């Protein structure tokens, strides 16, 4: 993940006596996207706007014909009701939905063949709310 000096200072708390700030969801999304792309995945980052499907995942990643939907969350982030509905639709259609709070939560996608991953994770939610 690439951080500007300002972002780095914010994470460290910006100076003496200030409480360190955690990463924002956008920082997590960017790091996850870069990691997956480095490992051969085609990754689409979705922006919510008027006309978007409510609850759409932050990222969609595709490799060797397998698609996964990734919702990036901070350590304390929770899914909205619309995100839960989207997750449930993905799972009911045999898709894979991942709640990723850091890059490490996605490493399993790059440690095995897509065919093995698909057999194990299709129709399931990976990660905790």
E strands present in the chain: 42-45, 59-63, 66-72, 96-100, 125-126
Give the model confidence (pLDDT) of 91-108 as tens digits.
999 999 999 999 999 999
Altogether, the residues listed in the chain come to a count of: 129
At 23 the pLDDT is: 80
Q: Is the pLDDT of residue 62 over 80?
A: yes
Give Rg (Cα) of the chain: 16
pLDDT tens by residue, 106-118: 999 999 999 999 9
């Amino acid at each position: 993940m690439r951080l500007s000096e300002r972002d780095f200072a914010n994470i460290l708390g910006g100076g003496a006596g200030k409480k360190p700030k955690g990463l924002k969801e956008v920082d997590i999304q960017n790091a996850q996207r870069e990691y997956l792309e480095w490992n051969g995945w085609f990754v689409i980052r979705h922006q919510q706007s008027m006309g978007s499907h409510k609850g759409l995942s932050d990222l969609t990643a595709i490799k060797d014909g397998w698609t996964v939907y990734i919702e990036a969350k901070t350590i304390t982030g929770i899914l909205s009701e619309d995100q839960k509905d989207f997750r449930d639709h993905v799972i009911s259609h045999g898709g894979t939905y991942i709640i990723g709070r850091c890059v490490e939560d996605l490493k399993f996608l790059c440690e095995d063949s897509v065919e093995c991953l698909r057999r194990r994770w299709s129709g399931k939610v990976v990660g905790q709310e």
